[in-house]
Structure 1
Amino acid sequence: MTESFFRFDHVSFQYSNGTKALHELSLSIPKGKKVAILGENGSGKSTFFKLLIGLEKPTNGEIQFLNETLHYSKKQLINLRERVGFIFQEADNQLFASTVKQDILYGPINLKWPYEKIEHNVSSAIQLTELEDLTERPIHFLSGGQKKRVTIAGVYAMDPKIYILDEPTSSLDYYFSNQLTTYLDELDDGERTFLYSTHQVNLIYEWADHFIVFHKGQLLYSGQRDALFSNDALLVKAHIEKPWLVKCYETMLHEGLIQQQSLLPRSMGELMDLVKGRNYTTAEAIDEKRLRTT
């Protein structure tokens, strides 16, 4: 059985103004997975994240973190937030220090780590997010994309085991939107878990290995990519665009240019292999090929 960081058991949440944001939500967040969180605006994604980091408490139901029920004591919340890093959709809600380096330093210093560890983690975070030339730049002089990179560096420097990214590419250009998943892949050690909320399905399709879909505060889907992106009715209901790679595959299949596969192609390389007649018809064969090319 796959270990879980979080488990939601019939969790509902209602805001003080009467808005019902989540209804009877039951699911697990597995360890070591790259999880895409999908759904239209207002579907409950942001509320879900607030519950994960203890900013809100369920109206009904129970949340477990590492198999322990959350009771929201000060000690428990400190333990939770040392392990869970949150990257806000709006960077200005997360940045408050005078300069780039001071902001990245803030989290590790508050964890009271040894000086050498703090310097190592902060230096690594700055290099990872390509901020070397901006370390002394005042925060208010940064562009939106630069601010977002600082928030990513600040979370990375704290070395969490869970990364929560709420629409992280909202202010990033094309290069850094694609570079973000590269950053995350470098952090992926098989133990960390990533939860990535986005409307950019084409960006997340190849990267994620688990998909969760919310719709009007309810869990509509939780599972692997193939069952999700082969279900046209579910995609229409959730207002999710079908990835262009899947569209290409289905068009080529309809035109008789390629043969039916048991799994959808995950990358352009796999699709081109089908065009060239290199068919991989089983999950085992595809996994074997991916291992050979990584």
Structure 2
Amino acid sequence: MTESYFTFEHVSFQYSDGTQALHDLSLTIPMGKKVAILGENGSGKSTFFKLLMGLEKPSSGKIQFLNEPLHYSKKQLIKLREHVGFIFQEADNQLFASTVKHDILYGPINLKWPHEKIEQHVDTAIQLTELEDLTERPIHFLSGGQKKRVTIAGVYAMDPKLYILDEPTSSLDYYFSNQLTAYLDELDTENRTFLYSTHQVNLIYGWADHFIVFHKGQLLYSGQKDALFSNDALLKKAHIEKPWLVKCYESMLREGLIHPQQQLPRSMDELMQLMKCHTFTPL
């Protein structure tokens, strides 16, 4: 199996107005991982995604896709977009068909799949995103959250191996924000990779297994959660909130309610298990 989807080697990007969006970026997007992309607005996350999708070319440096230099010929861009599904932050930038089902059908039809395969993938996508009652609804009659669910269904129906989600919970209510990670868990196999950009750290803390942090166009961190969320100085610099579960763990540790462990708990169940394992001294 290929070890990485993308490799960036000293990549920088400057917009035509002179704005330097990324500075000397070197990193690898590992295959088969759930990657959280963190950073304040303007940190370079959206530009990074545009480079991944071939929508922009680096001003300097090299990008490799599936261990080969990324070229911008029509043939290679088609190959790239067959592998990569992009869910935009603003759903209106991604929807253009007349009805919900027509929009979800658009991508699979353009992949020239057999009719039965198209219908199977589209029906599964509709069920996954709970859009059964909206399939014939005109797009312009949908709420912001409904539109976002249609974009998710449209990308899912194309069966990409790498998902890019740019602030996917914007416009989603509490229920569907939490449902989104459940959707992704259903897709989570060793053959799929996820890049999830968000400010909602609590939502993806226990879900992601790799974290990348951008700050002012530079790579500030790339690695597992433990070294990131135990580094108060780095979190402060990047304006990233510490997850409430980590705050609880650290507070209980200070109070002597649990024993320290090498890895931070990923869920409330894990934290409660630590408490059960702790031997309390009777009063």
Shorter-normalised TM range = over 0.9
Give the structure-2-normalised TM-score: 0.97
Which residues of structure 1 form unaligned runs of 5+?
A: 280-294
Tell me the residue number matched to 2:181: 181
Aligned positions of 1:1-294 closer than 5 A: 3-277=3-277
Q: 1:34: Cα distance to partner?
A: 0.3
CA distance in 2, matches of 1:161, 1:209: 17
SS of the residue corresponding to residue 95 of structure 1 reads: coil
One-letter code aligned to 1:80: L
C-alpha displacement at 1:217, in angstroms? 0.2
* C-alpha separation in 1, matches of 2:208 and 2:113: 32
Stretch moving more, 227-236 or 269-278? 269-278
For residues 233 and 17 of structure 1, what CA distance do their matches in structure 2 show? 33
In structure 1, how many angstroms separate the alpha carbons of the residues matched to 2:183 and 2:40? 26
How far apart, in 2, do the equivalents of 1:167 and 1:259 lie?
A: 36
Residue number in structure 2 paired with 1:282: none
1:162 alignment partner AA: L
Query: TM-score if structure 1 supplies the norm length?
Result: 0.94
TM-superposed CA distance for 1:233, in Å, is 0.4
Counterpart of 2:277 in 1: which secondary structure? coil
SS in 1 for 2:256: coil
Aligned partner letter, 1:182: A
Alpha-carbon distance, 1:204 to partner: 0.5
**Within 2, Cα distance between the matches of 1:166 and 1:149?**
14
TM-aligned CA deviation for residue 169 of structure 1: 0.2
Task: For residue 22 of structure 2, give the secondary structure of its aligned residue in structure 1.
Answer: strand
Structure 1 residues 100 and 258: alpha-carbon distance in aligned structure 2, compared to 1, 3 A threshold:
same
Identity %: 85
Q: Is the contact made by 2:259 and 2:278 (CA closer than 8 Å) also made in structure 1? A: no
Task: Report if aligned partners of 1:10, 1:61 keep a CA contact under 8 Å in 2.
Answer: yes
CA distance in structure 2 between the aligned counterparts of 1:195 and 1:27, rounded to whole angstroms = 14
The count of aligned residue pairs is 279
Q: What residue identity is the alignment partner of 2:219?
A: L
In 1, the alpha carbon distance for the partners of 2:200 and 2:275 equals 26
Alpha-carbon distance, 1:275 to partner: 1.4
| Gap regions ≥5 residues in structure 2 | none
Mapped partners of 1:232, 1:31: distance in 2: 29
Q: Which one is further off, 256-265 or 86-95?
A: 256-265
- Take 2:259 and 2:199, find their aligned partners in 1: how far apart are those partners? 30
Query: Is the Cα–Cα contact under 8 Å of residues 258 and 278 in structure 2 kept in the other structure?
Result: no
On the 8 A contact 1:2/1:30 being kept in 2, the answer is: no
Task: Give the letter for the 2:171 counterpart.
Answer: S
Q: How far off is 1:276 after superposition?
A: 1.5
The structural deviation recorded for 1:189 is: 1.2
Q: What's 1:284 paired with?
A: none
SS of the residue aligned with 2:7?
strand
Greater than 4 Å deviation, 4+ residue runs:
none
**Aligned-partner residue type, residue 68 of structure 2:** E
Distance 1:195 1:88 in 2: 12
Letter in 1 for 2:4: S
Cα offset for 1:191?
A: 1.0
**Shift in Å at residue 278 of structure 1?**
5.9
CA deviation profile, 1:106-160 (whole Å, cap 9, x unmatched): 0000111110110000001000000000000000000000000000000000000
